[in-house]
Amino acid sequence: MKGTKIIVVFVYILFLMLPIYWLLNMSFKTTNEILGGFSWYPQSFTLESYKTIFTDPTWYNGYINSITYVLMNTVISVSFALPAAYAFSRYRFMGDKHLFFWLLSNRMAPPAVFVLPFVELYSAMSLFDTPLAVALAHCLFNVPLAVWILEGFMSGVPREVDETAYIDGYSFPHFFVKIFMPLIAAGIGVTAFFCFMFSWVEMLLAKNLTSVSAKPIVAVMTRTASTSGYELGLLAAAGALTIVPGAIVIWFVRKYIAKGFALGRV
């Protein structure tokens, strides 16, 4: 029985990892080799693609831009969602349930709907082609998501803890920062992770709200593929590198993700 289990797991992981292996495999090949024929591993191993990415500013600036707006967005989303989620978790007010659902429904609208108005608005505000523009645009889907996840974690903390704090003499901000936030630290971590990931992989808004100076890596990748022929090795290397930040972040929150799932909010 145990043997079968191991085999099943092994096959499953192999199945999941195959495309990633293939991406890495390609990133160490020259474009000629990739187009030349099928091979399981690089025949003429090269780091040329990675070298290009780390030395050519159009490439590495793409990463810097992406990281910049993703971090900005994560901070904005979480800090705005915290008080909102607290309100949804602790207070009953007119239309609270509808508002909560409406927030969530923002996630259902395709970003394409918002692209044109956003480009217009941000141009008018001189935000176009800045990381802040993308960071703000991504709040469209990340703030509702963050509120949704955080509300679940907050509702897991008994209301009596809040009351005990007020009785003890804490003011609301003091209580929130000193007592409440540490209690939902796991939730904040999980929320930040999801904001990070969704912002990191989003392409449509990021691409259209930038032109030159704030171009994200996903946009750089598409451009390279079309202008200078098929630089598949370079593209594969860039793809492999985009996995890295997500992998690092998930390492930090791996313990809490399961809790998020258990709350039914992720």
Partner 1 sequence: MLELKNVSKVVGKDLHINDVSVQFERGSLNVLLGPTLAGKTSLMRLMAGLDRPTSGDVLIDNVSVLGKPVRSRNVAMVYQQFINYPGFTVYENIASPMRLAGVDKKTLDTRVREAAELLRLTEFLDRTPLQLSGGQQQRTAIARALVKQAELVLLDEPLANLDYKLREELRIELPRIFAETGAVFVYATTEPHEALLLGGQTATLSEGRLTQFGSTIDVYNRPQTLSTAQTFSDPPFNTIALQKSGDSFSSPLFSLPVTAADFGALSDGAYTAAVRAHHVSLAPSEKHSVTLQAVVGTSEITGSETFVHVDAGGNRWVVLTHGVHRVNPGETITLYIDPRSVYLFNSNESLVHAPTQYQPEQPVQAHHG
- Is residue 96 part of the contact set for partner 1 (CB under 8 A)? no
Q: What is the DSSP track for 124-168?
A: HTT-TTSHHHHHHHHHHHHHHHHHHHHHHHHHTS-HHHHHHHHHH
Provide the mask over 170-199, with x wherever binding to partner 1 is found by CB under 8 A and - wherever it is not: xx-------x--xx----------------
User: In angstroms, rounded to a whole number, what is the distance separating the alpha carbons of residues 167 and 252?
Assistant: 35
User: In angstroms, rounded to a whole number, what is the distance separating the alpha carbons of residues 96 and 147?
Assistant: 13
User: In angstroms, rounded to a whole number, what is the distance separating the alpha carbons of residues 58 and 61?
Assistant: 5
Provide the mask over 128-167, with x wherever binding to partner 1 is found by CB under 8 A and - wherever it is not: ------------------------------x-xx-xxxxx
Token pair belonging to 257: 């993700």
Nearest residue (CB) to partner 1, 179 versus 204: 179
CB of 169 to partner 1, least distance (A): 4
Nearest residue (CB) to partner 1, 171 versus 226: 171
CB of 166 to partner 1, least distance (A): 5
Question: CB neighbours of 239 closer than 8 A, spacing ≥ 6?
Answer: 23, 27, 221
Nearest residue (CB) to partner 1, 83 versus 158: 158
Nearest residue (CB) to partner 1, 2 versus 160: 160
Binding residues vs partner 1 (CB under 8 A): 158, 160-161, 163-171, 179, 182-183
